[in-house]
Structure 1
Amino acid sequence: MTDTSTAVALSVGDQMPPSEFGPLTRSHIVRYAGAGGDFNPIHHDEGFARSAGMPGVFGMGLLHGGLLAQRLAAWVGLADVREYRIRFTGQIWPDDVLSFSGTVTAVREQDGERLADLALAVTRQTGDPAIKATAVARLP
């Protein structure tokens, strides 16, 4: 089997290349609902969302969790992601522009592998956090 690792050399303090997504549209939300099978009407039916006490429809958490995972994999290489944990800290709304960031917080060795601990985040254009995450990546 061929090694598909694209492990990158990382040091404490290194930053994930900055990126943005958006503005988020209702079409993005509906397309993600179809792909992910999450058809909860709170995400696509304005009247339903308002009746539930929300100001309107909003994106499902795994939408921006997946976008962050995509950027993580592009940064460290998909084959080298050892762990990925997310905590939803805020909602995302139509017209939001999402920013993705990451920092290497530690480099260590465990079970014969060199690993980097990463702190990741998704924030809205308001500066409000939408996701706080951690990941572990294998290093060369």
Structure 2
Amino acid sequence: MTRRPVDLEVGQSLDPRTVGPITQTDIVRFAGAGGDFNPLHHDGAYARESGLPGVISMGQMQAGMLAAWVSDLFHVEHVLAFSVRFAAPLLIGDILVLSGTVDNIVGAGPEAVADLALSGARADQAIITGRARVRITTASRA
């Protein structure tokens, strides 16, 4: 059964989600699930020798967190498009705050879709930014 799309308005802020603090275990578990065993993700000495402050998560881990949050808010069957841009590495101990706003609504009735601007940040530094398009039930316009 398909769940009902969510009602949205242009300019609306999305309910944020906080993830973390990120642990070494989080990163290693994601590496095991995805098969990414680059030593930057589990070997602190190697990461520091490479010019990083320590172990970093793989970008797809942040992308997955952002995608899961969008899917939880809008139901996966209503997510029509999703893209990300990596801005900075996510480190052990970081707390990632996922947030977003409704930029635009196109169409009306069952054809209405919303364009979302998304971000994941530690303190006031963007780690990941993204865009999504989701099916909605309202057609409010700016």
TM-score under structure 2 length normalisation: 0.90
- What SS class does the counterpart of residue 132 from structure 1 fall into? strand
Work out the percentage of aligned pairs sharing the same amino acid.
40
Match of 1:31 in 2: 29
Cα offset for 1:52?
A: 1.5
Secondary structure (helix, strand or coil) at the match of 2:37 reads coil
- Once residues 94 and 46 of structure 1 are traced to their aligned partners in structure 2, the CA distance between those partners, rounded to angstroms, is 10
Contact 1:6–1:76 (CA under 8 A) maintained in structure 2: no
SS in structure 2 opposite 1:104?
A: strand
How many angstroms does 1:101 deviate by? 0.2
SS at match of 1:83: strand
1:128 is matched by which residue type in structure 2? Q
Candidates 3, 6, 30, aligned match of 2:4: 6
* Distance (whole Å) between structure 2 residues aligned to residue 78 and residue 55 of structure 1: 36
Instruction: Detail structure 1 runs of 4+ shifted over 4 Å in the superposition.
Output: none
Give per-residue Cα distances to partners, 1:61-99, cap 9 Å, x unaligned. Answer: 111111111110111111000000100011110000000
The one of 114, 118, 130 aligned to 1:116: 114
Matched with 2:140 is: none
Unaligned ranges ≥5, structure 2: 138-142
Report the alpha carbon displacement of residue 36 of structure 1 after superposing the two structures with TM.
1.1
- TM, length-normalised to structure 1: 0.92
Measured in 1, the distance between the counterparts of 2:51 and 2:129 equals 25
- What is the root-mean-square deviation of aligned Cα atoms in Å? 1.4
What number of residue pairs does the alignment pair up?
136
Q: 1:137 aligns with which of 128, 134, 139?
A: 134
